[in-house]
Amino acid sequence: MHIGVPREVVPGETRVALTPNEVRSLTAEGHQIVVEHGAGDRAGHPDNEYLDAGALSGDRANAFNADIVLQVHLVGAGNRASNSDLDQDLKLTRRSTVLAGLANPLSHPEPVRRLAEHSVTTFSLDLLPRITRAQAMDVLSSQSSIAGYRAALIAAERVDKMLPMMTTAAGSIAPARVLVLGAGVAGLQSIATTRRLGAVVHAYDIRAAAREQVESVGGTFVDLPLDTSSAEGSGGYAQAQQEEFYARQREVLGNEVAAADIVIATAQVPGKPAPILITEDMVRAMRPGSVIVDAAAAQGGNCALSVADETIERFSVSIIAPTNLPAGAAAHASRLYARNIANFTRHLLGDDGPQLTADDPIIRDTLLTREGQVVHAGLRALLG
């Protein structure tokens, strides 16, 4: 198969879909790979590394003139790339081409229509089912882990305290107090990272199963008087709640937020805007010098004051809302992403070329468009 790897064009993106290591493996398996000039530069992989690994280097048209195109952002769909970026790339793409990457389609369904109009076959890896068989392809987990780690470091760097307890000749310093909201993959990594830095870490998630996971990485689970019996939906994800639930949650979270030097907010519900868990009044009640890192900013954010991709100060509290945390660790984020997408490519190709069977949950859940149609059931319902 001819596999193309274009340079990412979404502003602020530093990752690359395939690293030279994965190129080497896929080439050894008989595939021919074309990498757009400079695609790996920002992830620490100059063109010569790809050439050494057996790839060809080409322009954007060469990278899109392939049987399979692997990207971080699927032709920029749903990720703030302009419509013209998407259209220009689609003009370079053959109708028979398979494209795979992240499209965030449940939050940004419209560009998927255009992918269908162009008759390309597309897969969005952010829809992979969280089943054991798909773990080696699970880009959400690999990238969320990095996001959680980065969020912790950004917060630690910004807050006006040190995180560990210290005993010095000038007296003792108490450890900083961290509150993590949402204890999925990113939140657990934020807990583990701030714990390693010496902070006292509290965390809350609406899924009951999260308690044990929070404790296993050294956090203290916060008990809130909320009825969370309907909190867990399918696939281990949280279920969206009624606004009254969130209003009550904000009320009972108030003291926890006010007591924290750092709040790292990672609470998300797939395909929905992130729930607002921190209001302006809650920020006002925080200690001056404290920090909120809103790691849910790409889905609208958990803090009502967050401004995507900006750091603002309100009531002397820093509110940082990065929408692409993995891009801050481009080398490792690319390495894990590349391994995931290479495994997905192997799964897709099987032994006899693409197997687009709906019996396979990995294909069924990730396949967006095929033969001019939006085929993903959830998206069809969204697009009407």
Contacts with ligand NAD, residue ranges (CB under 6 A): 130, 135, 138, 140-141, 144, 181-187, 204-207, 210, 236-238, 249, 266-270, 275
Residue 17, CA distances (Å) to 126, 214, 369 in order: 14, 31, 20
Name the DSSP class of 65. S
**Nearest distance from residue 185's CB to ligand NAD, in Å?**
4
Q: Is 138 a catalytic residue?
A: yes
Read off the amino acid at residue 40: G
Is 130 designated active site?
A: yes
Instruction: Indicate which residue of 82, 95, 113, 135 is catalytic.
Output: 135
Active site residue 141: yes
Residue 305 CB, shortest distance to ligand NAD, in Å, is 18
Active site residue 223: no
Q: Establish whether 119 is a catalytic residue.
A: no
Contacts of residue 384, defined as CB under 8 A and 6 or more positions apart, other chains included, come to: none
CA–CA separation, 11 and 238 (whole Å): 30
Q: Which is nearer to ligand NAD, 44 or 218 (CB)?
A: 218
Indicate the residue whose CB is closest to ligand NAD.
184
Contact 92, 64 (CB under 8 A): yes
Q: Write down the least CB distance from residue 346 to ligand NAD, Å.
A: 18
328 Cβ neighbours under 8 A, 6+ residues apart: 14, 150, 154, 322
Nearer to ligand NAD among residue 138 and residue 261 (C-beta): 138
Amino acid at 354: P
Cβ atoms within 10 Å, residue 373: 12
CB 97 within 8 Å of CB 69: yes
What is the smallest separation between the CB atom of 217 and ligand NAD, expressed in angstroms?
12
Q: Specify the residue, 93 or 249, whose C-beta has the smaller distance to ligand NAD.
A: 249
Q: Which C-beta is closer to ligand NAD: that of 89 or that of 138? A: 138
Which of residues 227 and 351 has its CB atom nearest to ligand NAD in the complex? 227
For strand 166-168 and strand 32-36, is the pairing parallel, antiparallel, or unpaired?
unpaired
Annotated catalytic residue, options 7, 89, 126, 138: 138
Smallest separation (angstroms) from ligand NAD to the CB of 30 = 29
Sign of CA dihedral 247, 249, 254, 258: negative
Kindly state the helix (H) or strand (E) to which residue 292 belongs, with its residue range.
strand 291-294
- Residues with catalytic annotation? 130, 135, 138, 141, 237
